[in-house]
Chain A
């Protein structure tokens, strides 16, 4: 049994109002359907109904945790998410898998049909939606620990990336964290690519290049407190994400800088405007600007 599955089981043991639903996406649910009985519903390959059914349950007081591939959840079912979950601000959890340059299950082997590279932008558009992109399983579990407090829908960009072995600040809902502390430049990232940034960070440290790495997991609402801290401390800020260059962290940073009249130098490293070339994770990553070596080069030569 995987930690995510054990977590869901123990949560439902305590709270029978939680219902796990999936649009036949069982990648993170293999071992629990039989154990959950009526608290597990597989609606088949029908993302719109996944959300509609979850909304119906939520309206009557249940807390649905809905699973699907990010591309189909956030695009095919977008209107259902926006109208049926967002408008009434129903507490409900939408868990998307295979997003960005997802390493889990070699997700980067997916072609353009399955690539979710605009999911954060789309989910940020939904009224009352909270958007979070955990970087590893421990973070995902900590997010789940907080879902009983939701007063609106939550999108988890689940990249389910094993466990990152690093000292972290205690998890605080809605707050982002600094995981490498230094001066000169700030590196901002989240999700799968945070791990890549930590590899870059190690190399930078070996070269005695002082820098900070921030885990920007909460993307909506924006954690403005940490952004003030970052903009006040660093002249140069690198924003690194496996998402297109519109609507996600890069846009958040631009909006923040404009609203606060900041003139810090900001360098954006992302998937530009389009699909990535599919392949095994390392090959696909190398073919983008998000390869550790390329990020390192940009920072060290900046």
Chain B
């Protein structure tokens, strides 16, 4: 699965997104959030992670914590596409017979921790980064934070602590879509200048377009090549609901629950979008 070329990645991402559409009905999912961070997730699972190690829960596997747990439909969409969970299982979404609901559950293979409450995931990730150090394991802990999540004070405790202990095995990705639940981040609790904030806190800071595969690739390559003695943060500029114009940067589509006709339309839009690329 590793090291897809640009076309292969585009096809892979399209399939992951179509998996998400399966969860955007009969109760729905946070589709806006999912389509905001799904390119990054698709890249991690297709080009960085060793899927067999994750499947077999090898001690030296890379670990992903989706701190913005409500975007879990994106993660399930990717996990199903790489075979960590079966695609059939997505049919169980929001039924009482399975553990697939609006937030990650660790009974689902590939889910490392049950996130959902904002501001927890980074502290969990730091604990896991400490665990790797104690185990003398050379893996990386990736934590995906929402930009709205940065309102939580506990995130900034974590940012201080990761710097204090120079946790070079910790990589935070901020899904910077400039939107939180209801409002634009800069209109409610402004975060800018975000890069300068993290730099000032002692982190290696990188910026990328979270929907441009070449930029995503370059950024992750830079992280894996450079030997640092500090934690890294990638501020990935993204668009909520990316790929479906109706939803893009639209506060109405943080969450979505659609009928079959609408979903059919979204399928077509995604196909066309992929062809244009």
Contact = CB atoms under 8 A, between A and B. Distances in A.
Interface of A: 16, 19, 38-39, 41, 43-44, 46, 48-49, 51-62, 64, 79-80, 83-84, 87-88
A13 to B, nearest CB: 15
A49 B123 contact: yes
Nearest to B159: A49
B114 A57 contact: no
B106 A52 contact: no
Nearest to A83: B117
Given A52-B126, A52-B127, A56-B127, A38 B133 contact: yes
Contact of B128 (A44, A56, A64): A56
Contact of B113 (A39, A59, A64): A59
Given A48-B123, A49-B161, A88-B106, A57 B117 contact: no
Nearest to A17: B134
Given A43-B161, A87-B114, A56 B134 contact: no
A52 B123 contact: yes
A41 B167 CA distance: 13
Interface in B114-171: 114, 117, 119-120, 122-135, 153-154, 157-158, 160-161, 164-165
Nearest to B154: A48
B162 to A, nearest CB: 10
Contacts of A49: 123, 126, 154, 157-158, 161
Nearest to A46: B157
Contacts of A53: 123-124, 126-127, 130, 161
Contacts of A41: 130, 165
Interface of B: 106, 112-114, 117, 119-120, 122-135, 153-154, 157-158, 160-161, 164-165
B120 A80 contact: yes
A79 B164 contact: no
Given A46-B161, A80-B120, A87-B114, A56 B130 contact: yes
A228 to B, nearest CB: 38
A20 to B, nearest CB: 12
Contacts of A16: 134
Nearest to A58: B127
Contacts, number: 92
A61 B131 contact: yes
Given A49-B154, A83-B117, A56 B161 contact: no
Given A49-B161, A53-B126, A59 B112 contact: yes
Nearest to A84: B120
Contacts of A55: 113, 123-124, 127
B123 A56 contact: yes
Contact of A39 (B112, B114, B117, B134): B134
Contacts of A58: 127
A39 B133 CA distance: 10
A17 to B, nearest CB: 8
B121 to A, nearest CB: 8
A19 B134 CA distance: 9
Contacts of B153: 48
B155 to A, nearest CB: 10
B131 A56 contact: yes
29 contacts: A44-B160, A48-B123, A48-B153, A49-B123, A49-B154, A52-B120, A52-B123, A52-B126, A52-B158, A53-B124, A53-B126, A53-B161, A56-B126, A56-B128, A57-B128, A57-B130, A57-B131, A57-B134, A59-B112, A59-B113, A59-B124, A59-B127, A62-B134, A80-B123, A80-B154, A83-B114, A83-B117, A84-B120, A88-B114
A265 B152 CA distance: 49
In this complex, which of A44, A46, A56, A57 has the most chain B Cβ atoms within 10 angstroms of its Cβ?
A56
B83 to A, nearest CB: 24
Contacts of B112: 59
Contacts of B117: 79, 83
Contacts of A62: 131, 134
B6 to A, nearest CB: 35
A52 B133 CA distance: 17
Contacts of B161: 43-44, 46, 49, 53
A176 B120 CA distance: 36
| From B117, B120, B132, B133, residue with most partner A Cβ within 10 Å | B120
Nearest to A64: B127
Nearest to B165: A41
Contact of B120 (A19, A54, A59, A83): A83
A84 B106 CA distance: 12
B245 to A, nearest CB: 37
Nearest to A45: B157
B90 to A, nearest CB: 24
Given A49-B123, A52-B124, A55-B124, A38 B158 contact: no
Contacts of B120: 52, 80, 83-84
Contacts of B128: 56-57, 59-60
Given A56-B129, A56-B131, A83-B117, 11 more contacts: A16-B134, A46-B154, A52-B154, A53-B127, A53-B161, A56-B113, A59-B112, A60-B132, A62-B131, A80-B120, A83-B120
